[in-house]
Chains A and B, each alone.
Chain A
Amino acid sequence: MLKVEEQTPVVFSSELLAKFDEVKSRYPEGKQKSALLPLLHLVQAEFLWVPTSAMDQVAEYLNIQPIEVYEVATFYTMYFLKPQGKYALEVCRTGPCCLVGAEKILSHLENKLGVKEGEVTADGLFSFRGVECLAACGYGPVLQISPEYTFYENLTTESVDKLIEDLKNKS
């Protein structure tokens, strides 16, 4: 079940809609549904998650049924269906990264941030989760931070501490 987390519908800016138009032009006439995944990424970059009201508006924009958007948004793991921290940290937890210490990084983040996987810190700045292979196995452990998906490699507990401090200072 898709839980409705917020009641105030989001508003798409004209800049965002212009980006939508550009993406839609990449596909042949009548195949505009192909734009769905890229559009959801644009929505998430704007609002830091994908609210239900945004999905409904995307459906309307693409002239498809809302369910066609919901089923895609719930199938793919990148779309956040509830609000995350301003910096959503995603740590690879698959085999090769675990051979070089990914599990330690995940438990360190839990201690450092004082929240469990999937929860947001009280200041709204951070959330974290373990994700499956990020295709950077030779540089593990690795993490990425949405919405820019900046990438950090060869992590140690020290480098993670520094990263968190840097992000805090930036805000």
Chain B
Amino acid sequence: MSRKLLLEHINVPGINTLEVYRQKGGYRAVEKALKTLTPEEIVEEVKKSGLRGRGGAGFPTGMKWSFLAKPEGVARYLVCNADESEPGTFKDRYLMTYIPHALIEGMIVSSFALGANTSYIYVRGEMMPQIRILEKAIAEAKAAGWLGKNILGTGYDLELYVQPGGGAYICGEETALLESLEGKRGNPRIKPPFPAIAGLYGCPTVVNNVESIAAVVPIINDGGDEYAKIGIGRSTGTKLISASGNLVKPGVYEIELGLPVEEFIYSDEYCGGIANGKRLKATVAGGSSVPVLPANLTLKLANGEPRLMSYESLSEGGFATGTMLGSGGFIAFDEDQCIVRNTWNFSRFYHHESCGQCSPCREGTGWMEKVLHKIEHGHGTMEDVDLLWDIQRKIEGNTICPLGDAAAWPVASAIRHFRDEFEWHIKEPVKSQSQNYGIADYATPIEKAPVAEEK
């Protein structure tokens, strides 16, 4: 069994209550941080831990914190990004549902480190049950003196509020989230200025993912150096992986970064293999925005070495043969799934979720959806594949926020690795309506690259 830092007590009955959470050592990090550490020391521990943002971008959390401007007499804010909406990702929902105090404890420690006296948890509006859970947990914590005025007699004040979103994927982008929190449409802002300089209400603001903030708790309890010992290379610590699709045991798993992908998919400790005795055709390893990979490149690098669940190993080979860890939304496709249909589905998602500010994204996502719909439904031509490639190229890098890239990458990678399947849909317009292309050679194992013999 690998080490669990976030989910160690997830199965303890009543762990969602303050009482049981405390019995299991909860809020020790708040005591330690507020009574024995300075804000600068906490930032230093988080830097030492090597923790990287768990929302998708993977930017070092400690560094993000150290960018926060601290002008005299200006309020600072910590905003937790709980707008979990990336298809394939459902770890934050899990954490907030079952162990809400882990997030609240992390929010108190992080707010103290950043000098924030009012903090918000922006939860996607659809998660009303989770909003109710968090509000109840906050009320419990406040009644017990963990929130409010003069916490633990240290003179530190903190109010924590839950803010519901309104149903918009784009609000997971941090500047769109801040716009939304200000009561506006979720249109991402042009950066710079970054939120660390001018964020919520124009004040210095840090926006962190739920899992990143929860990870601050074990970092403070055990020290940044201890946390950094877990994992591999620059991928330190543990990561929550949301596993979905055609797996025997889909769900949320906490892994030590560096776990072989093959072990994650097939071992009984994790996903238990592909459901219904089928074979794996492809995966999307880090949420819908990251490139889709055929089974063989999922399990092995292009040189035949095993691929690992880490930021570096998953992106090994760039987009030619690699993908990204992203938010850890791991989607598995069995041999009966159609890549064209899924790519069309994802394109529809991005078209629906584009905020409409930038023309390449607003128009391009619509065109991609239309062209993919045409191919999937047996009306495609060979030129359409090139047209798709052309459209995605014109979106990528040409928009204010990363939604454009996120819409382009799934299309680009599907054509890159599954072009045969697209062409089959075009050549077999009738057959492709009742049959799937199948697994072809997408799962054919990659041989280890030959090493020259020494003479």
Contact = CB atoms under 8 A, between A and B. Distances in A.
B345 A132 contact: no
Interface in A46-102: 62, 64, 68, 71-72, 75-79, 93-96, 98-100
Interface in A136-156: 136-140, 144, 148-151
Nearest to B332: A99
A133 B329 CA distance: 12
Nearest to B352: A132
Contacts of B166: 37, 40-41, 72, 75-79
Contacts of A159: none
Given A133-B169, A135-B93, A138-B250, A99 B126 contact: no
B163 interface: yes
Contacts of B185: 71-72, 75
A153 to B, nearest CB: 11
Contact of A38 (B164, B246, B337): B164
A55 to B, nearest CB: 13
A75 B128 contact: no
Interface in A96-133: 96, 98-100, 131-133
Interface string A3-40: 00000000000000000000000101001011111101
Contact of B181 (A34, A98, A138): A34
Contact of A76 (B118, B161, B165, B333): B165
A33 B169 contact: no
Contact of A136 (B75, B90, B346): B90
Interface stretch (B81-89, B305-313, B421-429): B81-89
A160 interface: no
A34 B129 CA distance: 21
A21 B248 CA distance: 48
A107 to B, nearest CB: 15
B252 interface: yes
Nearest to B186: A75
A134 interface: yes
Given A133-B349, A135-B84, A35 B244 contact: no
A37 B129 CA distance: 17
Contact of A137 (B165, B169, B331, B333): B331
* Interface-centre pick from A78, A137, A150 (highest chain B CB count, 10 A): A137
B331 A95 contact: yes
* Interface-centre pick from A133, A137, A138, A148 (highest chain B CB count, 10 A): A138
Contact of B168 (A28, A35, A75, A137): A75
B337 A99 contact: yes
A34 to B, nearest CB: 5
Interface in B240-282: 242-246, 250-252
B85 A100 contact: no
Nearest to A147: B128
A146 B180 CA distance: 21
B173 interface: no
A31 B353 CA distance: 27
A64 B345 CA distance: 38
Given A31-B201, A131-B167, 5 more contacts: A40-B166, A76-B167, A77-B167, A79-B166, A98-B345
Interface of A: 26, 28, 31, 33-38, 40-41, 62, 64, 68, 71-72, 75-79, 93-96, 98-100, 131-140, 144, 148-151
25 contacts: A26-B161, A34-B163, A37-B163, A37-B165, A38-B164, A41-B125, A75-B355, A77-B168, A95-B342, A98-B342, A99-B246, A131-B126, A131-B167, A132-B352, A133-B169, A133-B288, A133-B349, A135-B89, A135-B90, A137-B87, A137-B88, A137-B90, A144-B126, A148-B128, A149-B129
